[in-house]
Structure 1
Amino acid sequence: MGSIKRISKELAELIETPPTGISVQLVDESDVYKWKVTMKGPEDTPYEGGTFIVNLTLPNEYPFKPPTVSFATKIYHPNVSNDDKGSMCLGMLKSDEWKPSSRIAAVLEFARQLLVEPMPDDAVEGRIAEQYQNDRKRFEEVARDWTRRYAREAN
């Protein structure tokens, strides 16, 4: 499979020079399709001080099909589902918007950027998006509280 070569190359690059606040490892050394991503909450956001575990799963058809990204750590965010799946809604991961030239590093940077700047118009959690737009102060309080409760630094 040609994709394993590309996945291995991207993985090696990410381990060697990870994007700011992000580190990557394989869930299981024998499976290059499942990654465990550790993402630090960006400074000056309600997620600051938190460490979030994000699961990235690559399809066998990668890079022709997009990876799936989900938060294993509970997070209060308009673009992440509030259930135990933690599915993340990213425009670039929709099959009609995905480009084979897209790289996993860009996906992860975009996911982290969403923590800085949620996209309420592309929300999976309508209620949280509404709160984000209409009562930012309350949104940030709840997001900070969830970060403290669920995303403590893993020592």
Structure 2
Amino acid sequence: MALKRIHKELSDLAWDPPAQCSAGPVGDDMLHWQATIMGPNNSPYQGGVFFLTIHFPTDYPFKPSKVAFTTRIYHPNINSNGSICLDILQSQWSPALTIPKVLLSICSLAELFNRSRV
């Protein structure tokens, strides 16, 4: 089930990629992806390119993927190891969520951080 769903999400990403984000498998390992997020405009991260790893559990989508930044980033919701404090990656995970939605939520964290500092 996991691989079928992951292949569908990869196909959806190719068909309709989210703005400022990309993701795909590392080599032939469909359970390990690398993602890229461009720093949102008008944010402290504008112009930055941030890399993340995505590790899918074998029971995905019933359990959330593990997503972490590999690029160092200063943000109150991201610890020094790159772990992201985001409810949809933990207690609020739903099988209806997809990697594009997760990446857009991570992008929103950067935008919200910028607005909260104004």
Compute the TM-score of the two structures, normalised by the length of structure 2: 0.92
**Cα offsets for 1:52-93 (capped at 9, x unmatched):** 0011111111000001110000000001112xx210111111
**Cα offsets for 1:84-128 (capped at 9, x unmatched):** x2101111111x32111111111111011111113xxxxxxxxxx
Report the identity percentage.
40
Q: In the alignment, which residue of structure 1 is the partner of 2:24?
A: 25
More helix, by proportion: 1
Q: In the alignment, which residue of structure 2 is the partner of 1:88?
A: 84
One-letter amino acid of the counterpart of residue 87, structure 2: G
1:45 corresponds to which of 43, 46, 50: 43
* Superposition RMSD in Å: 1.6
More strand, by proportion: 2
Provide runs of 4+ in structure 1 moved above 3 Å: none
2:73 corresponds to which of 75, 99, 104: 75
Residues 45 and 116, structure 1, Cα contact 8 Å, conserved in 2: yes
Q: Distance in 1 between matches of 2:36 and 2:111?
A: 16
Compute the TM-score of the two structures, normalised by the length of structure 1: 0.71
- Larger Rg belongs to: 1
Report SS of the residue matched to 2:67: strand
Unaligned runs of 5+ in 2: none
How is 1:4-153 mapped onto 2 (pairs within 5 angstroms)?
A: 4-29=3-28, 31-82=29-80, 85-94=81-90, 96-118=91-113, 136=117
Residues 15 and 25, structure 1, Cα contact 8 Å, conserved in 2: no
Unaligned runs of 5+ in 1: 119-131, 138-155
Residue 15 of structure 1: how far off its partner (Å)? 2.4
Residues 57 and 68, structure 1, Cα contact 8 Å, conserved in 2: yes
For these two proteins, the number of residue pairs brought into alignment is 117
Q: Distance in 1 between matches of 2:49 and 2:15?
A: 20
